[in-house]
Each structure stands twice: as C-alpha cells, then as structure tokens.
Structure 1
Amino acid sequence: MAVQHIAETRQVLVVEDEMTIVLMIEDTLYELGAQVVGPASRLDAAILLAKEASIDAAILDVNIRGGNSYPVADILAERGIPFIFCSGYSDWALEERHRDRPRLTKPYSSSELAERVLELLGVASS
C-alpha cells in the first residue's frame, strides 16, 4: 500500500493496553503524519485524555485495564470526535449504543488501520 499522508498534523488518541499493538498503532499513525495522544492503557487515564486533550480522532480497544472503553466512547461522542473500536469481539458483544460505530476486528493489519484512520479524519484514501 502506498502510504498516504494527511495534509496537516492530526491528533489521534490511542487507548490500548497491549504494548505490541500500541507499537503497531503508533508506527501506522506516524507514517500517516498523525500525532499520537497517549497511549492510555488504563481507563482513568483514557477518560482524562478524552475529556481534556485536543484530539481529532481516537482508536479504542474495548477492554482495557480498569474496565472497558465505553465511558471514553461516550465522552468522545459528546464532543463530536470520531472514533473506532478495536476488538476481537463480534458486533453483538458491543454495548447496543455503540454497535453502529466503526470497528476493526483483531487481529488487524497496519494497512487496515491506516485506511480506517483516514476515513475517521475525512481523508480520501488512494
């Protein structure tokens, strides 16, 4: 895949508690020209960033240390910030209020992640 860069630096919140996945997400975002906010591996830190950080989009692992990321998703939805869930669970396992949200099923590739992030940021992929 030819790596597409976003025109201006965008801030992407990363909520993930598995370090190998965090590293892949960070590499993918850097290749796109985005800046990583976080990563947050605990619910309390993720909630704080979701409330206070300047972010353009977010990548949320459903299950993280301290609970699940639904409270973070609720805050982002209230702020009008697009996000994607990353999970090994099926759609039916997500809370009903979030089932219509974009989702990547684990395991996913960096190219799949890049495509979804570009969609979240409103950047057409090539």
Structure 2
Amino acid sequence: MTRPPGAAWRVLIVEDEATIALNIQDVLEDNGFRAPWIASRLDEVQAIIDEHRPDAAVVDLNLGGQSGDSVAEMLDAAGIPFVFSTGYGRRAISDKWARKLVIQKPFAPATLIASVRAAMDNKPRL
C-alpha cells in the first residue's frame, strides 16, 4: 500500500480494556502510525468504519461478551486489513480467519508493529 509523503497510517484499536487499548495506541503512535480511534462496542466500530475508513485495525477477540468475529466481518466487508489481539492464542480464532495474523497478549511492541505492517502489506484495499 502506498501513502502520500508525510501521511501516517491510521489504525483503529478495538479493545474493551482501556489500559491495553491505550498501551496499543502509544506503541503505534511511537512508531509512526496514527491511532485516533479506540472502540469497545460493535456500533462504535461500524460508525468509525463508515465515517473514517481506517487503514488497518487491531482487534481483541473478546469484547466484554461481544465477539471479535463480528468486528472481523465488518472490517473484512470494508476491505480493511486487521490483526487479532488475544490472550487465548490462535486456538480462539474461528476457521474462517485462520489466515489472519494473531498476536498473543502480552506482546512486545515490535511484534505489534510488525504484525500491523504485515497485515497492511498483504491485504489490498477495496
């Protein structure tokens, strides 16, 4: 994916734990991304997709009882690449998303950055 010079990639964070979301935001922004949105509910995710169309997303699988699968469906339908973030590991991912990148919490900042970049490199935008 290409970006105009000086423009930062915009990443949506979908996470219901505020401390984790803010940590992800800090790591992304410290590494040249913009992470202006944190969502913890499906309706928030859909509104952000509709209004802002992020370049990528980091998605927690368990959103306080709501499934990250629903978020993945929304992002996939919009052509937005994403990475799953979970404390449960790859076994928590449904077969439909078996080819998606999964980072297991807790993760190193370098793992997060490399995973977001890889997701963006491997998924063309619609």
**TM-score, scaled to structure 2:** 0.81
SS of 1:101's partner is coil
1:114 positional shift: 1.3
Structure 2: 5+ residue stretches without partners: 122-126
1:25 positional shift: 0.7
Percent identical among aligned pairs is: 34
Q: For 1:22 and 1:90, locate their aligned partners in 2 and report how far apart those are by CA, in whole Å.
A: 18
1:87 positional shift: 0.6
Moved over 4 A (4+): none
Aligned to 1:118: 117
Q: For 1:21 and 1:66, locate their aligned partners in 2 and report how far apart those are by CA, in whole Å.
A: 17
Equivalent runs, 1:78-117 vs 2, <5 Å: 78-117=77-116
Describe the superposition over 1:43-80 as per-residue Cα deviations: whole angstroms up to 9, x where unpaired. 32123223442211000000113501211111211222
1:121 positional shift: 3.0
Aligned to 2:34: 35
1:8 equivalenced with 2:14 (yes/no): no
1:7 positional shift: 5.4
Q: CA RMSD in A?
A: 1.9
SS of 2:13's partner is strand
**TM-score, scaled to structure 1:** 0.81
| Contact 1:13-1:36 at 8 Å conserved across structures | yes
Aligned to 1:50: 49
SS of 1:121's partner is helix
Q: For 1:99 and 1:47, locate their aligned partners in 2 and report how far apart those are by CA, in whole Å.
A: 23
Aligned to 2:124: none
Provide closer, same or farther for how the CA distance between residues 111 and 13 of structure 1 changes in structure 2, counting only shifts above 3 A: same
Q: For 1:98 and 1:47, locate their aligned partners in 2 and report how far apart those are by CA, in whole Å.
A: 19
